[in-house]
Amino acid sequence: GAVVSQHPSWVICKSGTSVKIECRSLDFQATTMFWYRQFPKQSLMLMATSNEGSKATYEQGVEKDKFLINHASLTLSTLTVTSAHPEDSSFYICSARGVGSGNTIYFGEGSWLTVV
Amino acid sequence: GEDVEQSLFLSVREGDSSVINCTYTDSSSTYLYWYKQEPGAGLQLLTYIFSNMDMKQDQRLTVLLNKKDKHLSLRIADTQTGDSAIYFCAESPTGNQFYFGTGTSLTVIP
């Protein structure tokens, strides 16, 4: 089946720095990618939807200047957490669908971010 | 946003059946899903059901949908220790955006 890979799986960064998380579709062209965030014992919350070559659409309450999403190619989307703070520590997971995914959405493995 | 609710924990003995319940609010949801998340891993699609179906069976998994009550359940027959994980139900009105429940942590006792 189709594969979506995220990198890094785990990242620790200092407060005030920026960190980038990559989401790649390995064997299909991801025309649409989604970014979610999951806090402990809470559900996954959709942060934003990005279509290749377009600006991302952010969900209400998600700061677009803090969570920069770039979907410049059909196989890669990046989420950059700018000026990270400890409260940004969370599990971030992407999903993708597109040409070759059989109209199914596939999820990445997720990335654990800890801001110290 | 949509509200999808699940109980947080479920514990069963190996060999028994597990039933994980979920309620949702959007009656227009076309697709309803069950995902499994093992420690340190991403989400694995287990099964899904279209809103015009009442039941779907796939090997050890049985999904029941009560549209009137907006209630979805996942039954795992002959539960094994490898089934220990967090199970998320999700609704998707359009097939694109997903709204997830809080997840049910299933613990299988040997």
- CA dihedral sign of residues A61, B40, B3, A24: positive
Q: Which of A43, A104, A108 sits opposite B102 (nearest CB)?
A: A43
Sort out which chain B residues have CB atoms less than 8 A from A41's CB and list them. Answer: 8, 102
**Low-confidence residues of chain B, pLDDT below 70?**
1-2, 95
Predicted confidence band of residue A6 (pLDDT cuts 50, 70, 90)? very high
CB B67 within 8 A of CB B60: no
pLDDT surpassing 70 at residue A45: yes
- Which H helix or E strand runs over B19? strand B18-24
pLDDT tens for each residue of B79-102: 999 999 999 999 887 767 788 888
Residue A105 forms contact with B (CB below 8 Å)? yes
Residue B31 forms contact with A (CB below 8 Å)? no
* Interior/surface letters B38-64, b for 16+ CB within 10 angstroms, e for the rest: eeeebbeebbbbeeeeeebeeeeebbb
Among chain B residues, the shortest Cα distance to A94 is held by B42
Sort out which chain B residues have CB atoms less than 8 A from A61's CB and list them. Answer: none
Cβ-Cβ pairs closer than 8 A, A with B, add up to 52
